[in-house]
Structure 1
Amino acid sequence: MVWTEIRKILIIIFGALLNAIALNVFLIPANVYASGFSGASQLIATILEQPGLTGIILFILNIPVTILGWKKVGKLFTIYSFLSVIMLTFFLEIIPIVEQTEDILLYSVFGGVTSAIGVGLTMKFGASTGGMDIIAMVLSRMKDKPVGTYFFILNSLIIVIAGVYFEPEKALYTLVALYATTRVIDVIHTRHEKLTVMIVSSKAEELEAAIHARLVRGITTVPARGAFSKEDKNMLVMVITRYELYDLEHTIREVDPNAFTNVVQTTSVFGFFRKD
């Protein structure tokens, strides 16, 4: 359990390092913008003509969001997310902004992909990069709309402002970076807010107890029988948020490594779904 948490912290730090590299090495030198609060911080710093302040601005923007996440999302999740923000701010301060090439398209693609790997790894291990991720999650629960809707709104604002403040060409390159980021994150980690998990196990009672000890989620248990083995088992069905997937996977591995688990996208949920 201790090693699991240590590995999680190391992955979060590594993800922050990749995000900092994406910004200071690729995106900032080309005036191409990242997604979410990182892009918003970039834009503010550029308008102020102080690109080196991107990390400090990002940290300041995340303070009220961290308070919101603490109250509405979850304390441990918020702590890990704020750790990601702190480390990203630190790396942005120590990694120099250096122009490597005049090819803005290369900057856009490599910046978007590098950022996506950092964000995707952070999400895969049960945290977020803070900022818009937390806001979108809270709004999604309040309004019952997909998280992607809120990401699209903020990123659209970044693109429009970049196009007005600079040339329209910069906005188009920002679109390229955002597209690369989205596609890679989809490969590494799901962008869906809610997921349905079906677990077939011969240790259903132990799994139920372990899951309830770690997650605040209801479980429906259905009798099941292996068609080939003829062995009687149980299938646990539950709906979770994407941020709980990491903890659930580890709980299943600890209790029943032989359990068969299927995770599918959930478009919407009707009826009771705990939101706090």
Structure 2
Amino acid sequence: MLVALARGGGRLAYNDSSDACWLTAGSTGRWQMLEQFRDSILRYILIALGIVIGALSLTVFLQPLDIAPAGVAGASTLLNEVLGTPIGLMIFVLNVPIQLLGYAMLPNGARVILRSVVIILIFSVVIDNLGPLVPAGGISDERMLNALFGGITGGIGVGLVYRAGATFGGTSTLALILQRRFGFPMSTTFLCTDTLIIIAAGLVYGWEGALYAAVALFTAGLATDYVLEGPSVIRTAMIITDKPDEISQRILDNLQRGATSWTIKGEYTGIERTMLYVTVARSQVRDLKDEVSQVDPSAFVVIGMGHAAYGAGFRRVKRMRM
């Protein structure tokens, strides 16, 4: 067996009678450090953008037209209307007990809560400093327009922070506590808190204000989902046919897509047939239907909508290091 170390180029050479390996010492570590640095910078950029966009949503579109957003920010907006307390300050104050609960009750609570507290503090400061810069009455006096744009921009801000692996705290932390400790679904927690905000908005701003708050909450949820999942650009098809081999071959040759098949039995007829499962781009749906109909006009085809596809032929999975 022969072992040699060449220091000049930082290269480690290992050789024996069975195989030879050449490793560049330190190069892998340097690349990993660069990737971690890049991911950290990207994460901070996403968080910063999310904070600024979320603050603009509240100060430019929602609060000037008496529209309450979701969660702790919504409660703080209502308290500002009733008591005159600064919105940013109240966001921070209301978050304190929630974050303390998270610290005590969540696994790895210190790490999770510390990140949230920093984001909450910056978000609160940005809101209270942006408010005086916004024209009185906002940039439009049309409440529906403000509800829509306020919800969209707010949802984008939340989605960007979520994509960075963080949260704005508030009801997100509360929902996580209830889920981890008591098995309470997070969606139910959000539904309950949002409903309370809408009712409170009706009491403070009038019931028309409650309707606008509901519009803002709904559009914010859609925008958040869009940021997290992206546009629906793929379609999935289930094809029940007697000619699976011919159809799958045409799909492979003409669409460059694969297919998965399994044998099924119709409960009404009791006849066994084959079902193909295919994932294609949205632009390929028409071609897929044409290929199937040319081979088997009697095939039963169901086409559904998908959010995203990862793997060969589609997007590569990329994980941001936290």
Q: Normalising TM by the smaller chain, what interval?
A: 0.5 to 0.7
Matches within 5 A, 1:5-44: 5-44=40-79
CA distance in 2, matches of 1:73, 1:11: 25
| Native 8 Å contact 1:39 1:158 kept in 2 | yes
Q: Percent identity?
A: 30
Letter in 1 for 2:319: E
CA distance in 2, matches of 1:13, 1:131: 18
Q: Kindly tell me: are residues 168 and 25 of structure 1, through their superposed partners in 2, closer, same or farther at Cα, counting changes over 3 Å?
A: same
Match status 1:130 vs 2:169: yes
Match status 1:152 vs 2:191: yes
- Deviation track 1:218-248 (CA, whole Å, cap 9, x = no partner) reads xxxxxxxxx9xxxxxxxxxxxxxxxxxxxx9
Query: What is the CA-CA distance between 1:22 and the residue it aligns to?
Result: 0.4
Query: What is the CA-CA distance between 1:126 and the residue it aligns to?
Result: 0.5
- 2:122 is matched with which residue? 87
| Native 8 Å contact 2:46 2:163 kept in 1 | no
- Deviation track 1:10-60 (CA, whole Å, cap 9, x = no partner) reads 22122111111001000000110111111111111111134xx00000011
CA distance in 1, matches of 2:141, 2:218: 21
Letter in 2 for 1:83: V
Q: Secondary structure of 1:189's partner?
A: helix
CA distance in 2, matches of 1:67, 1:112: 29
Q: Secondary structure of 2:319's partner?
A: helix
CA distance in 2, matches of 1:7, 1:143: 34
- 2:98 is matched with which residue? 65
Q: Say which one has the larger Rg.
A: 2
CA distance in 1, matches of 2:98, 2:207: 31
CA distance in 1, matches of 2:38, 2:117: 20
- Deviation track 1:116-157 (CA, whole Å, cap 9, x = no partner) reads 011001011110011110000110122323211111111111
| Native 8 Å contact 1:17 1:87 kept in 2 | no
Match status 1:180 vs 2:219: yes
CA distance in 2, matches of 1:37, 1:68: 15
Letter in 1 for 2:177: V
Match status 1:168 vs 2:207: yes
Q: Kindly tell me: are residues 21 and 73 of structure 1, through their superposed partners in 2, closer, same or farther at Cα, counting changes over 3 Å?
A: farther
| Native 8 Å contact 1:32 1:174 kept in 2 | yes
- 1:107 is matched with which residue? 146
| Native 8 Å contact 2:52 2:157 kept in 1 | yes
Q: Kindly tell me: are residues 76 and 110 of structure 1, through their superposed partners in 2, closer, same or farther at Cα, counting changes over 3 Å?
A: same
Q: Secondary structure of 1:141's partner?
A: helix
- Deviation track 1:240-265 (CA, whole Å, cap 9, x = no partner) reads xxxxxxxx9236xxxxxxxxxxxxxx
Gaps of 5+ in 1: 191-226, 228-247, 252-276
Letter in 2 for 1:105: M
Query: What is the CA-CA distance between 1:73 and the residue it aligns to?
Result: 4.5
Match status 1:249 vs 2:288: no
Query: What is the CA-CA distance between 1:77 and the residue it aligns to?
Result: 2.5
Q: Secondary structure of 1:102's partner?
A: coil
CA distance in 2, matches of 1:5, 1:135: 26
Paired residues, number: 194
Query: What is the CA-CA distance between 1:63 and the residue it aligns to?
Result: 1.5
Between Structure 1 and Structure 2, the one with more helix by share is 1
TM-score for both structures, normalised by structure 1: 0.66
Q: Secondary structure of 2:102's partner?
A: helix
CA distance in 1, matches of 2:177, 2:319: 23
Q: Secondary structure of 2:320's partner?
A: helix
Which 4+ stretches in 1 moved above 3 angstroms? none
Q: Alpha carbon RMSD of aligned pairs, Å?
A: 2.0
- Deviation track 1:76-129 (CA, whole Å, cap 9, x = no partner) reads 322222222111111112213422111000110100110101100101111001
CA distance in 1, matches of 2:61, 2:73: 13
